[in-house]
Amino acid sequence: MFKLVLATAAVILCWGYSPVGIHIGLEGYSPGHLALLRFLIASLFMAGIALLMKISRPHWRDLPWLLVLGFFAIALHHVSLNYGQQGLSAGASSVLAQSAPIFSSLIAFFWLKEPVSGWRWGCVVMGLAGAVLVVVGDKGLGAIEPRGLLVLLAAFSWGLYFVLQRRFSGRYGVLTTVCYMVWCGTLLLSVYTPGLAQAVLQASWRVNVAVLLLGVFPSALAYLAWAYVLARVEVSRASIAMYLIPPVAMLLAATVLGESVQSGVVLGAAVVLGSVMAMQLEGRWRQRRLGRSTILPRARQDARGVIDKP
């Protein structure tokens, strides 16, 4: 139990640090260079873990899909996030990044033609309204930067990754999928290689340490810790911990960067996280109803069987 709590706390702290590390990294790197350097570090770290754990090799037919996962989960997500955070505070960025389940619902409805209940549609509308509140409350209505909206593109990309990764659920272990996803994403980010070496040499030690921490902790160790948690706890229960990431990110941003938390951002955060939590509650209610619907007929059959016995 203690190890589980420790792993969950590590995930929250690592992913809470991510927007703070990005903010510092952007002081010395372009968004593309920052994403590439971060995941070069993560790829090397994951390679060591893969050799130690002796992960399995993917089938050749799955490589195109792994590249697609790497594009949406790593390349597009993190480049958009880096560009978007140039127009938002670290705290506001952490809130918008947690809106991925809202976009997953929209993608599932419009692309996969999955039915979406009225409750879930209400959550989607409420979540999008909360996202608008965060963007407006962060810099003020007159100072809204279009770049800040790219964080929503990052959340959309992450939500699309959630939908696509269902194809691999059960085919590979979590660690194997994460390793190949990170490596494929890093390969796609290699388009930003020109000028990276010079940027590393010109960046200050403070910036380079922040990027090193980004590569090791949020981009590698957090995924391993999350895999450990998911192997021992139901996804619906474990995901509740994700709601603690924005408050931790805001606290770190206030401590490390001296950011002040705007009331509009706090209100928007409550709306966004509340809508995502309401979505998960609906899923748990549905599972309970399905469980009851299968248990009751069996109970009736058992009862009839007992009565009919001579």
Furthest-apart CA atoms within the chain: distance in Å: 89
Selected residue with higher pLDDT from 131 and 292 = 131
| Helical spans, DSSP H, in 170-262 | 174-189, 196-202, 205-216, 222-230, 235-238, 245-252
The per-residue pLDDT for range 182-223, each reduced to its tens digit, is: 999 999 999 999 999 999 999 999 999 999 999 999 988 887
First to last CA, the chain: 50
Amino acid type, 62: D
The pLDDT, as a whole number, for residue 247 is: 83
For 157, list phi and psi in degrees, rounded to 5: -60, -40
Lowest mean pLDDT among 116-120, 163-167, 205-209, 305-309: 305-309
Instruction: Kindly list the domain boundaries of the chain, sorted by start residue.
Output: 2-308
Amino acid type, 79: V
Tokens of 227: 């895999």
Averaged pLDDT for residues 3-27: 90
Contact 103, 155 (CB under 8 A): yes
Contact 215, 37 (CB under 8 A): yes
Half-sphere exposure (CA, 13 Å, Cβ side) for 179?
A: 20
In this prediction the pTM is 0.79
